[in-house]
């Protein structure tokens, strides 16, 4: 499996609190069959200015890679960040101040949970116009999507890659998020599922429960498509594979 959204780098954000926890997360990921992790700490949150962030990011990546090699864990760490969307994100990506996943043109983008749908659409459209293929983190957790899941269909049509969180499918963010997640999956609007893991005890990298939850409900190849095939295609710069979305005129 390939997990494209994980807060595994220690002491960077509200994810792994130290190297020991980061390693525990790495072991959990390997135990459930994950071979590649994108280390995606929060970045660009307004008010959080840290001029040494880039240095610290590289240092923690190197340290964690060394520890993983020392334990002989069959795990590859790739670079990334979960970018909080602001007006200047396209410029910051163009300048290299913000980075995409691996060597791709795909930035992982998040919004404030109360952002309006038309504001999200405008920002995502702008990134697409600038030649990026944004991956939107956990739409099922945004207020506007819970109220109107059809918004995701518009973003899908724009070419945005839609990434859902493991915890949303399993009901870890409450019933409303779980129901929204199920709607989006039924309508075939999800290209990728990732752990968005923040630790080794809650919101973990363990994906074992998901195979049954996805394949049992949404078809026999759903798990493989969303956790292996599409994440691999993204890292290769290829288009993700979508099942034909179920139109919202037959919304259920």
Binding site for Fe ion (CB under 5 A): 82, 196
| Residue closer to Fe ion, measured from CB, 3 or 196 | 196
29 φ/ψ angles, rounded to the nearest 5 degrees: -65, -50
CB of 15 to Fe ion, least distance (A): 8
d(CA 248, CA 225): 22
CB of 137 to Fe ion, least distance (A): 6
- Please classify residue 96 by burial: count the beta carbons closer than 10 Å to its beta carbon, then call 0-12 exposed, 13-18 middle and 19+ buried: exposed
Strands (DSSP E) contained in 126-172 are 135-137, 161-165
Q: Token pair 């945004």 is at which residue? A: 142
| Residue closer to Fe ion, measured from CB, 7 or 233 | 7
**How far apart, in Å, are the Cα atoms of 123 and each of 58, 205, 239?**
28, 29, 21
CB of 78 to Fe ion, least distance (A): 15
How does strand 36-39 pair with strand 192-194? unpaired
Structure tokens at 215: 């394949």
CB of 166 to Fe ion, least distance (A): 11
| Residue closer to Fe ion, measured from CB, 109 or 214 | 109
| Residue closer to Fe ion, measured from CB, 3 or 82 | 82
CA angle 89, 90, 94 (to 5 degrees): 115
Q: Give the Cβ contact number of residue 72 at 10 Å.
A: 7
CA 177 to chain centre: 16
Three-class SS state of 219 = coil
| Residue closer to Fe ion, measured from CB, 140 or 196 | 196
CB of 216 to Fe ion, least distance (A): 26
| Residue closer to Fe ion, measured from CB, 40 or 153 | 40
CB of 82 to Fe ion, least distance (A): 5
Structure tokens at 169: 């499918």
| Residue closer to Fe ion, measured from CB, 13 or 154 | 13
d(CA 32, CA 30): 5
Closest CB to Fe ion belongs to which residue? 196
CB of 158 to Fe ion, least distance (A): 22
d(CA 83, CA 143): 19
């Amino acid at each position: 499996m390939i997990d494209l959204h994980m807060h595994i780098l220690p002491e960077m954000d509200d994810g792994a609190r130290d190297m020991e926890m980061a390693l525990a997360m790495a072991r959990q990921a390997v135990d459930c069959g994950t071979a590649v992790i994108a280390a995606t700490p929060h970045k660009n949150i307004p008010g959080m200015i840290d001029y040494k962030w880039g240095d610290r990011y590289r240092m923690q990546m190197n340290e964690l890679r060394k520890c993983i090699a020392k334990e002989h864990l069959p795990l590859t760490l790739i670079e990334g960040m979960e970018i909080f969307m602001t007006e200047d994100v396209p410029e910051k990506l163009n300048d290299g101040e913000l980075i995409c996943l691996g060597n791709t043109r795909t930035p992982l983008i998040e919004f404030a949970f109360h952002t309006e749908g038309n504001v999200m659409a405008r920002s995502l459209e702008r990134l697409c116009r600038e030649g990026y293929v944004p991956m939107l983190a956990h739409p099922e957790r945004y207020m506007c999507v819970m109220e109107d899941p059809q918004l995701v269909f518009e973003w899908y049509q724009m070419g945005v890659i839609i990434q859902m969180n493991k915890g949303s499918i399993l009901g870890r963010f409450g019933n409303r998020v779980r129901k929204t997640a199920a709607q989006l999956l039924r309508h075939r609007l999800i290209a990728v599922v990732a752990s968005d893991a923040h630790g080794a005890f809650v919101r973990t990298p363990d994906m074992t429960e998901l195979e049954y939850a996805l394949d049992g409900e949404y078809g026999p190849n759903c798990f493989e498509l969303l956790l292996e095939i599409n994440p691999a295609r993204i890292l290769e710069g290829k288009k993700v594979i979508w099942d034909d979305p179920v139109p919202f005129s037959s919304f259920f």
